[in-house]
Amino acid sequence: MKKLTITLILLVGAYALTACNVQFSTASVGNAQLCKMVSDKYEAINPTTNFATTDKEFHCLVQINNAPGDTKLRARWIAVNAPGMEANEKLVETDLPAAGGRNADFRMTAKNGLPPGEYKVEIYLNPQEGNAEPPAKTLDFSVKS
């Protein structure tokens, strides 16, 4: 009877995990940095957390570790406090597959630059639609005149 009870508990637990759509992955987000350009080898050129209002391209280079082939990354660029924008307004959101052994380059283009203010980019690992999970990494940056 004891074995049957333990087996039943394990089966119910396994069912509950699959019903909750829980995913386990060996992947992790390593180093992430903002920069103005990225080399053809996916290395940061001019790393910075301070951009100018005249800058048109913003890069966030993200290192992914131990990523199986189905690993996905998401970057969400947000205006935290900038004139003419809502507080914490989402500017751009991009998903990329995690390419084995290569850094992911999330690029945001601002045709007319960004107004001075405080911004951030949030990095998510295997984001699930409808789940409000915290980002794996957050990088703050500023734009100045």
**Domains of the chain: residue spans and CATH:** 27-144 (2.60.40.10)
Rounded alpha-carbon distances, angstroms, from residue 15 to 12, 20, 145: 5, 9, 56
Beta-carbon count within 10 A of 139 CB: 17
Mean local confidence (pLDDT), 121-137: 88
The pLDDT tens digits for 53-86 are 999 999 999 998 877 778 889 999 999 999 999 9
Q: Phi-psi bin for 40: left (phi > 0), alpha (psi -120 to 50), beta? A: alpha
Do 85 and 117 meet the contact criterion of CB atoms below 8 Å apart? yes
For residues 140 and 123, what is the distance between their CA atoms, to the nearest angstrom? Answer: 12
Residues 19 and 24: their CA atoms lie apart, in Å, by 14
Q: What is the pLDDT of residue 18?
A: 41
pTM, entire model: 0.78
